[in-house]
Amino acid sequence: MIKVTGILSAATVIALAGCTYNDGTANQPATGAIIGGVTGAAIGNAIGDDTKSTVIGGVIGAAVGGAIGTDMARQERELNQQLAGTGAVITNNGDELRVILPEGVTFSTGSATVASSFLPALREVARSLNAYPNSTVRVVGHTDNVGTAAYNQQLSQERALSVARILIRDGVSSSRITYSRRGYNEPIASNATAAGRAQNRRVEIVITPTR
């Protein structure tokens, strides 16, 4: 058991060094392979309780994780191309993609109705989700701290639901989609400034690969 743990630890340390490109940006396929490999090795070791099972589990897990990471990187690139100029922002942390829809381009102030000018962008998101069906989708509404907590909770829920309904209307299976509200409880910037409040007023589409 000690030898197996040592192998895993050493492999993880060495592999992590390869998780970035020369320019310092994240190598998502490599990250996925490492996460999958370590997870698969742990499962293999738990099942077989020997080095052979650990190695087999690690190889399988790395292959699956690498494929997932590659798909996520490809989907991220495509979404960036499809949504260029819309105001939407796509982030990839290696475990999930986040499509951030700022209020300023998605809704009128205080409204939960998606602006007609933004509907083509959501159609592109739906097209991407349908092209990469092995994922779950969470639509999460956020606000700034102007107004009561109850008002912001309700507004964030209605906005998340509006976006979820449009994705379903555009062909994404409802079984993949959940929605939730956060109100002003999860800011990404300071609510002390107008610029910060504008960043906090958003809906996020969180795309998580199914493993």
Burial class of 75 by CB neighbour count within 10 A (0 to 12, 13 to 18, 19+):
buried
**Measured between alpha carbons, how far is 35 from 95 in angstroms, rounded to an integer?**
9
**Measured between alpha carbons, how far is 42 from 54 in angstroms, rounded to an integer?**
6
Exposure b/e, 112-147, CB count within 10 A at least 16 = b: bebeeebeebbbbbbbbbeebeebebbbbbbbbbee
Residues 190, 156, single domain; the answer is yes
Which of 46, 73, 100 corresponds to the end of one domain? 73
Residue 174's identity, in one-letter code, is S
**Measured between alpha carbons, how far is 90 from 124 in angstroms, rounded to an integer?**
13
The better pLDDT of the pair 9, 146 is held by 146
Residues 24, 98, single domain; the answer is no
**Measured between alpha carbons, how far is 201 from 16 in angstroms, rounded to an integer?**
35
Which of 73, 99, 129 corresponds to the end of one domain? 73
For residue 10, what pLDDT band results from cuts at 50, 70 and 90? very low
Residues 100, 170, single domain; the answer is yes
The better pLDDT of the pair 18, 79 is held by 79
* Total structural domains within the chain: 2
Residues 96, 169, single domain; the answer is yes
Residues in the chain: 211
Residues 191, 95, single domain; the answer is yes
What are the angstrom distances between the C-alpha of 162 and each of 94, 107, 141, 143, 196? 27, 10, 10, 15, 24
Residues 88, 115, single domain; the answer is yes
Tell me whether residue 178 is in a domain: yes
Residues 36, 108, single domain; the answer is no
Tell me whether residue 132 is in a domain: yes
Task: Give the per-residue pLDDT at 11.
Answer: 46
Tell me whether residue 78 is in a domain: no
**Span 169-190, pLDDT tens digits:** 999 999 999 999 999 999 999 9
Residues 19, 88, single domain; the answer is no
Tabulate helix, strand, coil % of the chain (nearest 5): 55, 15, 25
Residues 116, 140, single domain; the answer is yes
Question: What average pLDDT does range 99-106 have in this prediction?
Answer: 97
Average pLDDT score over the chain: 83
Residues 91, 143, single domain; the answer is yes
Tell me whether residue 37 is in a domain: yes
Task: Give the per-residue pLDDT at 67.
Answer: 73
Tell me whether residue 36 is in a domain: yes
Residues 105, 14, single domain; the answer is no
**Measured between alpha carbons, how far is 131 from 13 in angstroms, rounded to an integer?**
34
Judged against a pLDDT cut of 90, whether residue 63 lies above it is answered with no
**Measured between alpha carbons, how far is 22 from 143 in angstroms, rounded to an integer?**
37
Which of 50, 73, 96 corresponds to the end of one domain? 73
Structure tokens at 182: 């956060």
pTM higher than 0.95 for the full model?
A: no
In DSSP notation, 144-201 reads: -SSS-HHHHHHHHHHHHHHHHHHHHHTT--GGGEEEEE-TTSS-SS-TTSHHHHHHHS
Question: What average pLDDT does range 3-13 have in this prediction?
Answer: 45
Residues 125, 33, single domain; the answer is no
Domain with residue 180: its CATH number is: 3.30.1330.60
Domain holding 193, by residue range, is 83-209
